[in-house]
Amino acid sequence: MERLTRYAYVLAALLAGTGAYALAQSNQSGGPKVTEKIMEERAPLDVPGYQLIPGPEGLAYTYKMDKRTYETLKPFGIVARNYTDGAKTYDAVLISSDSHESFHDPKICFSGQGYSFTHANEQVLDLPDGRKIPMTVVEMNGPTGPTVAAYFYKGPSGFMSRPQRLQLDMFKEVLFGRKPTDSTFYRFMPSTPGVTLEQLKGFIKTYMVAAAQQSGGFF
């Protein structure tokens, strides 16, 4: 039994080493194929029923993430845009990369921005075009009161609700000798107080259909 246990530990160590090496190679292979400028061009400008709120450089983005976020995540790029229907405003953030290190649990960032969680669960969003998107929904208390947010990921095998699933998905691609796949993190939350989860879902559905159409399927 002792010999068998020792063998299991050795095998686990070898697999972990192989995986770490493969992921390291993937992060160095060929460099980024996508840039933030390309992301800005592909991300939806026209979301039916909503108007994009321009930032200091026009419609490319509403605001920029801070330098520390870029240094920590090392993504291809980050596109943060706000959309309004005249009464309610929604914040949509896209982060793309082909490295597993760029994707983490956003609850950490929420906590750092002064939000405390009251509830979190996984749901499936049914889009008008027939697609189904697993997502994580969080209810929080923040600087302006209670609010909701939703996030999910798109990786080699499609959409998923948790960063751990995406990282495993990316790990398997490299382990089987396939090229690293561009993946994306999506985060949505209202900027207007009092927005309900159902209203947020309505925006996300419209946004995701527009994103798929205007990005040629990238988003």
Query: What digits encode the pLDDT tens for the residues 132-148?
Result: 999 999 999 888 789 99
107-133: pLDDT as tens digits: 777 777 778 888 999 999 999 999 999
> What's the mean pLDDT when you consider all of the chain?
85
The residue behind tokens 């596109």 is 79
Predicted TM-score (pTM) above 0.85:
no
The confidence score (pLDDT) of residue 1 equals 46
The residue behind tokens 């914040």 is 91
For the chain, count helices (H), then strands (E): 6, 8
Mean pLDDT highest for which of 5-19, 87-101, 107-121? 87-101
| Mean pLDDT, range 49-73, rounded to an integer | 95
Quote the CA–CA distance of 215 and 69 in Å, as a whole number.
24
The confidence score (pLDDT) of residue 28 equals 45
